[in-house]
Amino acid sequence: MDQDLATIVRETATEMALAPVRGRVADYIPELAKLSDRHFGMVVITADGAEFAAGDADLPFSIQSISKVFALVEAMASHGEALWQRVGREPSGGAFNSIVQLEAEGGKPRNPFINPGAIAVTDLITDGDDPRAGAGRILRLLRQLSGNGGIAMDGAVAYSEAATGHRNAALAHFMKAHKVLSGNVEATLSAYFHQCAIAMSCRDLARAGRFLMNDGVDPASGQRVVSAEQARRINALMLTCGHYDASGDFAFSVGLPAKSGVGGGILASVPGRASIAVWSPGLSPQGNSLLGTRALERLASATGWSVFNPNR
């Protein structure tokens, strides 16, 4: 299989490199808009530790919403079940930045992977008024899990997000009005913009996500990141809510827990089998990487990897 997997990864990358329709690069932040849509990178790490890489596997990109998975890990560690008083666990049925649901439901966001939910999670892990606290915790976790101490935030991206982030500011103030946020709104937003601006490669990301396929234990270090139950729950949330209002379609077509970001990255896990990261900046209308999704669909189909496969 490993030989096969190498072929599958290589062929998938070749196919994606040639794809004529590549989606639309996010343009709401000048720093992201500069990217070429030609990029495609992919890394698969299997349970036995083998790594299969192709394309721009080592080029850092802005992980954006993928940071929400690791913010959730931090909040689970420090707040346990109390976390769920601030944020729900249901698919929202709406866009990633919709404010309608907040108004209808007393300011409590549906899940930790839509923007308001992620801001509420970041508020929890940003103790006090220091915006560096929250984003700093996430950065340290990512460095440790990937083994790459050089991972950093892209200051220009963070600055751009803050300057254009009025919609996220609206979400944060709205939740503050409903007492769903406890910290200072500006500090929480700054932390959120900084965590989204973390830049890392597919290789770093696939490594950082290994605990997700391994019931919460990082196979590289043997250290437990979250409990087995928490790991399964994070996977469940990624499957039901990881692709905004295209989550159902992703579960239907790919069948794997995954989280996307508008930088074009997707982190996916195959419980017991593999940790996967893909990157291609062109997005679908729902804001998920177009070729990244297609690559995962192809990989899942070729390998039979699906949480719904009885012979997995």
Q: CA 122 to CA 128: how far, in whole Å?
A: 12
Binding of residue 235 to a second copy (CB under 8 A): yes
How many of the chain's residues bind a second copy (CB under 8 A)? 59
Q: CA 312 to CA 189: how far, in whole Å?
A: 41
Q: CA of 122: how far to CAs of 74, 117, 136, 245, in Å?
A: 9, 9, 11, 22
Task: Give the interface segment with a second copy, choosing from 5-13, 37-45, 142-150, 251-259 (CB under 8 A).
Answer: 251-259
Binding of residue 248 to a second copy (CB under 8 A): yes
Binding of residue 176 to a second copy (CB under 8 A): yes
One residue of 169, 199, 220, 302 binding a second copy per CB under 8 A: 169
Contact 157, 197 (CB under 8 A): yes
Binding of residue 118 to a second copy (CB under 8 A): no
Binding of residue 122 to a second copy (CB under 8 A): no
Q: CA 90 to CA 295: how far, in whole Å?
A: 27
Q: Is 262 a catalytic residue?
A: yes
What residues between 199 and 228 interact with a second copy by CB under 8 A?
213-215
Q: CA 203 to CA 54: how far, in whole Å?
A: 10
Task: Give the interface segment with a second copy, choosing from 16-24, 127-135, 149-157, 168-176 (CB under 8 A).
Answer: 168-176
Catalytic one of 244, 247, 269, 289: 244
Binding of residue 247 to a second copy (CB under 8 A): yes
What residues between 36 and 75 interact with a second copy by CB under 8 A?
47
Binding of residue 249 to a second copy (CB under 8 A): yes
3-state secondary structure of 25: strand
Q: How far is the CB of 38 from a second copy (least distance, A)?
A: 30
One residue of 23, 55, 60, 88 binding a second copy per CB under 8 A: 88
Binding of residue 126 to a second copy (CB under 8 A): no
Q: How far is the CB of 37 from a second copy (least distance, A)?
A: 25
Q: Is 68 a catalytic residue?
A: yes
What are phi and psi for residue 6, nearest 5 degrees? -60, -45
Q: Is 244 a catalytic residue?
A: yes
Q: Is 192 a catalytic residue?
A: yes
In terms of CB distance, is 171 or 276 closer to a second copy?
Answer: 171
Q: How far is the CB of 139 from a second copy (least distance, A)?
A: 26
Question: Which residues participate in catalysis according to the annotation?
Answer: 65, 68, 192, 244, 262
Give the binding site for a second copy (CB under 8 A). 47, 88-94, 98-104, 110-111, 166-167, 169-174, 176-177, 185, 213-215, 231-233, 235-237, 239-241, 245-249, 251-252, 255, 257, 271-273, 306-312
